Amino acid sequence: MDRNLKALIIGSTGGIGRELVKELLKSNQWSEVHVIVRRELEAWSKLSYEQKNKLVIHKVDGLEILRDQTKLPKFQGLNAIFCTLGAEQKDGKENFIKVDKEFPLLSADLAIQNNIPQYHIVTSQMSDKSSMFLYLKIKGEVEYELSQKGFQYLGIYRPGLLLQREQPRLIERLCSYIPFIKKVDVQNIAVTMRKQAEKNIQFTQNKTEYFENNEIINISQNKN
Q: What is the pLDDT of residues 174-194, one digit of tens each?
A: 444 444 467 899 999 999 999
The per-residue pLDDT of the chain, averaged, comes to 91
Residue in 6, 101, 139, 195 annotated catalytic? 139
Residue in 26, 98, 129, 135 annotated catalytic? 135
Q: What domains can you pick out in the chain, each with its CATH number?
A: 5-221 (3.40.50.720)
Q: Give the pLDDT confidence score for residue 145 in this predicted structure.
A: 98
90 an active-site residue? no
Above 90 in pLDDT, residue 213?
yes
Please report, for residues 5, 44, 80, 89, the alpha-carbon distance to residue 97 in angstroms, rounded to integers and kept in the order given.
31, 29, 24, 9
Q: Does pTM top 0.85 for this prediction?
A: yes
pLDDT band for position 1 (50/70/90)? low
157 an active-site residue? no
